Copies of this chain bind each other. A is one copy, B any other.
């Protein structure tokens, strides 16, 4: 592992009035972020936009060009407010077409339960021209992949199934490693130590995350690096610094 190693990045566009209204708590940001970490890809930006075509097009174009990969969540179902496929097609300047494999999947499914493949149901087979399907074992509706863009479901456990199907298929770099040290002390007491230790380890970042629990204040310090040796050295320096200054700390975090 060298410092010149390429860093792979991703953007995420969360599409949904229900997130912006506060009605639904988003769970896809954390889920996709964690999954990307394991693939060696860093989630670098998220935008949450409403169910408005122009707004989706703008966000998709900004993030697909800015990062190696783009993910979207939401808006790929069969109803009138599901406009993600149309918006992504518009962003790419390609038409929307019926995907033959998706159509065949829907036909098998509806024939199996003795129903007709109506136009409404066929909406779920619409893709931007040139797209592939991302299968998922959780439901019949597939995700969609076109270029560096991955269209995922809004329902978190369906998205989980699609991420499963994508595991190992995206090129990534060294995963970002992290270790956590917890301290029952206000972070302002140790800010000088944190700053000095981070400065002395240029390939590591230290994040400080304060908390208030059981009537006491404390903070977790998360040390991140793509290099295991440098991470270890930084963690050791931080522990030494805290011990020398007389602070108790908890390896692994609090």
Contacts and interface: CB of A to CB of B under 8 A. Distances in A.
Interface string A208-224: 11111000000000101
Contacts of A222: 18, 23
A12 to B, nearest CB: 8
Nearest to A219: B79
Given A19-B29, A20-B33, A178-B21, A120 B192 contact: yes
B47 A224 contact: no
Contacts of A18: 207, 209, 222
Given A26-B29, A191-B120, A176 B77 contact: no
Interface of A is mostly: mixed
B49 A45 contact: yes
Given A23-B178, A79-B208, 14 more contacts: A20-B46, A21-B34, A22-B32, A47-B47, A51-B207, A77-B188, A79-B191, A79-B195, A80-B198, A80-B208, A120-B191, A124-B188, A138-B212, A155-B212
B187 A77 contact: yes
A65 interface: no
B19 A33 contact: yes
Interface of A: 14, 17-27, 29-37, 42-51, 55, 77-82, 118, 120-121, 123-124, 138-139, 154-155, 157-158, 176, 178, 187-189, 191-192, 194-195, 198, 205-212, 222, 224
Contacts of A17: 205, 207, 224
Nearest to A43: B20
B22 A33 contact: yes
Given A80-B191, A211-B155, A212-B157, A25 B24 contact: no
9 contacts: A17-B224, A22-B37, A24-B209, A51-B205, A79-B195, A81-B207, A81-B208, A120-B192, A138-B212
